[in-house]
Copies of this chain bind each other. A is one copy, B any other.
């Protein structure tokens, strides 16, 4: 029965709707030591549920700190998941052939969601719990627009209003992402906006400010904190967000079983950490339990924004301005502004606390890759497998190809699984830059990172 899929020459491994997971996997149940507490930015003491209540519904706050291994997925959420889940698991036969590798390469494709990425897996859950606690409206920020469009769609399904503060430079440069959000009924404003005190303050100092994710977060948080009918929503980093994404890895495990195969390597790109965690945590569970000691789990980040490979594992703010609670994570310093990489979803100074902890404990590895080599991998993938990957996902592909070539050099028949977290339909400007030789690599911004690390908050972790 070994490698049945190989024998049958199957390209896609599909599951039925009844196989959509009924429970999310919460890795906090399996950590050797509990995750470090989240601290109040003023007092430096651990915060409680009530401190977060103005921003999040209680169900999500409870999920954030829960140590239950499995959390049931409500039927109303699974009903929306059915629109695109279970997502297909592909065997990358054409890529394997071109690389002439003995490795077997599989990818989980999350670009099949209507928003085009994995983000709706948590957006739908967050909209549902907000609706259940009678929240009427959600405020959020978005950079390039992946998260904003996922939340716009989810809010639309549950009858919630949605306001998106979109970084002004993206608002101007990526009008299609804005229109996508508006098509699903969201209100989108360029940030900094005159709609908040935070936005007004920035506009007074610089009317032409291009905005930043940090400013947009400040606006969305202020919006939620100052309106009774409104909560705030975040698309990555937090524990409950990562947990919602574990449907990816839970499905992938079933699909690999159907193929009578087992992963030797699990690879994902990592910005805030949610797509990486979504695929890898259900596999990490086996490693943590001692069932799969040799499994390699690899997070891939841009070499110009390398929070895992070059950052410190310390307490820091989640936002740029310094308004959020303090979390212990791998960080380049909250004041570090990454260079204008095309993989907008990987331009974040920190890394999800749970991903950071697993890295610190040696459960997972991390690799940083430069931009041009990443697009070379993206092109090779598009020309063999057809799908044009998002620049974020292409970071994972770079390492997949490198590992497959290593397998060739070492004549090893290993199985590589990675997350193709989204398609690149709204990123073709970046492909154009690459194809015309205008794409560049950024040097490791050592001085800027050193300066940002000197500005870390002084807290004992």
Cβ-defined partner of A383 (8 Å) among B112, B156, B175, B429: B156
* Given the contacts A82-B11, A383-B156, A114 and B388 also touching, CB distance less than 8 Å: yes
Whether a CB of chain B sits under 8 angstroms from the CB of A12 is yes
The answer to whether A425 and B428 have CB atoms under 8 Å apart is no
Question: What separation, in Å, do the CA atoms of A112 and B423 have in the docked complex?
Answer: 11
The answer to whether B428 and A179 have CB atoms under 8 Å apart is yes
The residues of B that contact A113 with a CB separation of less than 8 Å are 386
Chain A interface size range: 35 or more
Whether a CB of chain B sits under 8 angstroms from the CB of A220 is no
The residues of B that contact A385 with a CB separation of less than 8 Å are 83, 114
The answer to whether A383 and B114 have CB atoms under 8 Å apart is no
The answer to whether B11 and A14 have CB atoms under 8 Å apart is no
Question: What separation, in Å, do the CA atoms of A126 and B153 have in the docked complex?
Answer: 38
Whether a CB of chain B sits under 8 angstroms from the CB of A183 is yes
Question: What separation, in Å, do the CA atoms of A203 and B314 have in the docked complex?
Answer: 65
- Least Cβ distance of A287 to chain B in Å? 32
The residues of B that contact A116 with a CB separation of less than 8 Å are 425
Whether a CB of chain B sits under 8 angstroms from the CB of A58 is no
Cβ-defined partner of A184 (8 Å) among B10, B175, B382, B432: B382
Whether a CB of chain B sits under 8 angstroms from the CB of A435 is yes
Cβ-defined partner of A176 (8 Å) among B11, B183, B429: B429
Of all A-B residue pairs in the complex, the 6 with the closest CB atoms, nearest first, are A114-B386, A11-B82, A179-B428, A176-B428, A425-B425, A179-B432
> Can you offer 6 A-B residue contacts whose CB atoms are under 8 A?
A12-B17, A12-B82, A83-B385, A153-B386, A179-B428, A183-B383
